[in-house]
Amino acid sequence: MQSHVISTHHHGKPKSQSQWQQQWRKIAGVSGLYQYRPSGVFFANVRVSGKVYRESLETKDLALAKRKLAEFKMRLERTDPRFGKITFLRWLEDVYAPTLRGSPVTLREKRRVIVTVKTHWTIARTQPMRDLRESQVVTFLNDHYGHWSESYWNRALSVIRDALALAVRDQVLTTNPAGNLKYRKPKKPIRLTPSFEQFQT
């Protein structure tokens, strides 16, 4: 599920409270549930331990939105507070890397991705993993693997996505910011069709 911030920064800063209310509708009797009026989509806006968590519930149906909000709150309650400020790099090195299995070649290639993250991805070293966004993952992949073949890009995506998926399973993250990213399809080789004369030779 992709996260969205309930913020006027993304939808134009309102000049007044009434203008904000024209964009957002707080659902009466349901704590933390809002509806973005232009699209009709419902959003969760929940505060836990002083931090506000906001996420699109990806539905326009009120009953379904209430159920998704309850599930979102349950995920937040289960999130391990000890890892609140852990960076993605630290998670990769300390938690994910020891779980890796496979042939020596496979392990070497995956560890090479981790080294690239450590060397070139500043956000992974400095920003809490819980604040990582899909757009930041895509930017890193494009910057450092976009000029290589699809297999390199896919391998890096696999490592990053699997590491974040482990964080979700361990209840360190509520959602995987790379969960919706797809592998790139290898380009088909161009095969020239022989001419009639070439068939005769």
Q: pLDDT per residue over 41-81, tens digit each? A: 999 999 877 778 888 999 999 999 999 998 888 777 766 66
Confidence of residue 83 (pLDDT cuts 50, 70, 90): confident
Query: In angstroms, rounded to a whole number, what is the distance separating the alpha carbons of residues 177 and 110?
Result: 19
What domains lie within the chain, and their CATH numbers? 18-78 (3.30.160), 80-200 (1.10.150.130)
Residues 6+ apart with CB under 8 A from 46: 31, 32, 52, 53, 54, 69, 72, 73, 76
Across residues 187-191, what is the average pLDDT?
63
Whether the pLDDT of residue 4 is over 50: the answer is: no
